[in-house]
Amino acid sequence: MVRFDVIVVGAGTAGCLAASSAAEEGLNVCLIDVKSKEDIGRKVCGDAIGKHHFDNLGLKYPSGEELERKVEGVFIYSPDRKSVFEVKGEGLHGFVVNRHLFGQRLLKKALEAGADLHDSTRVVKPLIKNGVVIGVKAKKGSQVEDLYASIVIDASGMNAVIRRNLPPELGIEKEPEKEDVIACYREIRVLREQLPEPEYLRIYLNSQVAPGGYYWIFPEGENKVNVGLGVAMRKGFPNPKAQLYKYVLSQPLFEGSRVIHGGGGLVPTRRPLDRMVSDGLMLVGDVAFQVNPLHGGGIGPSMMAGRIAGKVAAEALEEGDVSTEGLWRYGVEYIREYGAKQAGLDVFRTFLQKLSDEELNYGMRNKLITEEDVLITSMGDELKLNLTEKIVRLFRNLGKIDLIMRLRKLVDLMNEIRDHYRVYPSSLTGLASWKTKALEIMERAKAI
């Protein structure tokens, strides 16, 4: 029987960090991915990562071929494109990376720490005995193998092969609501000439073009761009590829451009899963909805979660307790560190998705929220409104005082939910009542 301390399913950003941190703690780690070793890291993505994530994790900044472009800020365009917010500052410094080479670096880190890679291997389902996850069933070619471990970490991204195959009595949410998921399509293209100010990412809000989401143009190296579009998967949502071709790639900027790669993907843009562990099991990355709900950035939080999970796995094994209670502190640490910010931004996202283009145009033109506020909010800190006497009067005269009242409610609810996530229960016992209150706040947010 093949047995490990830890099996990590998926060698993406979450899985590689979980595997490397567990292996660095001296654990015997098996890292499984359906991709071949050479292909690990290839993923349809916007490829942008904040510098602070590298600082927090003590990772070297991307350089050489792995670095496509240094980022200094973001231009955010209103639906009528008459207002452009230039959001910049230390908090928005970052990188556009070559996603494949970045993924390969993380894989190398896990392998150098001692993780044992099983590539080209598909995990089919978890192995569960008496409610405890004890391993995985995996398939390489036509060969099926049962692999056992004290702890299984599901890091299989939106595929969520373990989470989806858990029996309901384990109490872990199986599927996100469709409306909380963004369906994306993106292409890497070479333009005829380089974009001006290539150190700025571009985000365009427009509910006709990208309902519930946005479209983006992120400059990469030389004349290359990463251009994509995401839509909320609400009833009757349009095809993101068709929208990208119709409204974005038809713009003069893309005339004569050449496609290098195109593909689609899903992003879970909501607060994190309220329960991330079970007996012998931890969930990290997209599996646990660890993504910034406002802009969909999940690379940073998934790496952070992977790091915490690997460390907690080692502590739990040391203490001889890999039960839900023994692993619980992983969820506590993640939620208090990043999940609380995510929850606040989830409330903001729910609100933004309901604003009409006209309201967004007004709001941006009249600086209801300033560039600085956008920066602060996107970092997960408190949203402050720019409600001067003059602005309130202007909105009253325009017959839009209702928008101001709704914004005030929004700020209160963002604070309330963040505070609630900061007191995430320190054991399973407190989860049910905590969850009821979290859902109740979300219901009020949806009603604004």
Residue 166 interacts with ligand FAD (CB under 6 A)? Answer: no
Residue 19 interacts with ligand FAD (CB under 6 A)? Answer: no
Among 32, 115, 281, 383, binds ligand FAD (CB under 6 A): 32
Considering beta carbons, is residue 40 or 383 the nearer one to ligand FAD?
A: 40
Residue 21 interacts with ligand FAD (CB under 6 A)? Answer: no
Q: How many CB atoms lie within 10 A of CB 161?
A: 20
Residue 186 interacts with ligand FAD (CB under 6 A)? Answer: yes
Q: What is the DSSP letter of 195?
A: P
Residue 272 interacts with ligand FAD (CB under 6 A)? Answer: no
Name the nearest CA neighbour of 4 among 283, 14, 22. Answer: 22
Choose the stretch contacting ligand FAD; rule: CB under 6 A; options: 85-93, 289-297, 405-413, 433-441.
Answer: 289-297
d(Cα 18, Cα 8) in Å, to the nearest integer? 7
d(Cα 69, Cα 349) in Å, to the nearest integer? 28
d(Cα 229, Cα 184) in Å, to the nearest integer? 5
Choose the stretch contacting ligand FAD; rule: CB under 6 A; options: 20-28, 71-79, 205-213, 262-270.
Answer: 262-270
Q: How many CB atoms lie within 10 A of CB 381?
A: 14
For residue 441, which phi and psi values (nearest 5 degrees)? Answer: -65, -40
Among 29, 49, 304, 360, binds ligand FAD (CB under 6 A): 49
Name the nearest CA neighbour of 30 among 3, 63, 68. Answer: 3
Residue 159 interacts with ligand FAD (CB under 6 A)? Answer: yes
For residue 67, which phi and psi values (nearest 5 degrees)? Answer: -95, 115
Among 6, 107, 110, 161, binds ligand FAD (CB under 6 A): 161
Closest separation between CB of residue 352 and ligand FAD, Å? 18
Closest separation between CB of residue 81 and ligand FAD, Å? 22
Report 301-330 residues binding ligand FAD (CB under 6 A).
302
* Upper half-sphere CA count for residue 333 (Cβ side, 13 Å): 17
Considering beta carbons, is residue 244 or 368 the nearer one to ligand FAD?
A: 244
Choose the stretch contacting ligand FAD; rule: CB under 6 A; options: 260-268, 309-317, 375-383, 403-411.
Answer: 260-268
Q: What is the DSSP letter of 177?
A: -
**Binding residue count for ligand FAD, defined by CB under 6 A:** 41
CA distance from start to end of the chain: 56
For residues 92 and 116, is the Cβ–Cβ distance under 8 A?
no
Q: What is the DSSP letter of 287?
A: G
d(Cα 313, Cα 22) in Å, to the nearest integer? 7
Task: Determine the residue type at 361.
Answer: N
For residue 229, which phi and psi values (nearest 5 degrees)? Answer: -150, 135
Task: Determine the residue type at 304.
Answer: M
Residue 431 interacts with ligand FAD (CB under 6 A)? Answer: no
Residue 344 interacts with ligand FAD (CB under 6 A)? Answer: no
Considering beta carbons, is residue 203 or 368 the nearer one to ligand FAD?
A: 203
For residues 302 and 14, is the Cβ–Cβ distance under 8 A?
yes
Binding mask 368-407 for ligand FAD (x = CB under 6 A): ----------------------------------------
Q: What is the DSSP letter of 78?
A: -
Closest separation between CB of residue 122 and ligand FAD, Å? 5
Residue 154 interacts with ligand FAD (CB under 6 A)? Answer: no
Closest separation between CB of residue 199 and ligand FAD, Å? 15
For residue 278, which phi and psi values (nearest 5 degrees)? Answer: -145, 180
129, exposed or middle or buried, with CB in 10 Å at 0-12, 13-18, 19+? exposed
- How would you classify the pairing of strands 224-232 and 214-219? antiparallel
Binding mask 103-132 for ligand FAD (x = CB under 6 A): -------------------xx---------
Among 7, 8, 48, 376, binds ligand FAD (CB under 6 A): 48
Among 4, 5, 6, 12, binds ligand FAD (CB under 6 A): 12
Among 212, 265, 272, 326, binds ligand FAD (CB under 6 A): 265
Q: Please compute Rg for the chain using Cα positions.
A: 22
Interface residue list for ligand FAD (CB under 6 A): 9-15, 32-35, 40, 43-49, 122-123, 155-157, 159, 161, 184, 186, 228, 265-267, 285-286, 291, 296-300, 302
